[in-house]
Amino acid sequence: MSHDRPLVESRARRLLLYLKHNRGRIVADGALLLGWVLAATLIFDWLEQPTWVLYLVLFIGVVAYTRITPTWERPYRSPD
């Protein structure tokens, strides 16, 4: 399975390959999480709810999002 991916020795090269391979997911995840934070903040400000409840809702939302989305992939094998 992992033998079909190339072995990359350089850490800098691995980082660049990782970011290039997952750039679409990184942008989409960042946009969705930023939208979640913005929407929740605006709603909680409008409803005049306590700040600690907002933080709790944001934390639960981010954790739930990370649990339901697949992980990012490595397009290489690491010698480490």
For residue 20, the cross-strand partners are none
The answer to whether residues 26 and 19 touch, using CB atoms and an 8 Å cutoff, is yes
User: Domain ranges in the chain?
Assistant: 29-70
Cα–Cα distance for residue pair 69/64, rounded to 1 Å: 9
Cα–Cα distance for residue pair 75/8, rounded to 1 Å: 10
Cα–Cα distance for residue pair 24/40, rounded to 1 Å: 24
Q: Tokens 């946009």 appear where? A: 31
Q: What percent of the chain has pLDDT over 90?
A: 57
pLDDT tens track for 31-60: 999 999 999 999 999 999 999 999 999 999
Cα–Cα distance for residue pair 24/2, rounded to 1 Å: 23
**What is the pTM assigned to this prediction?**
0.70
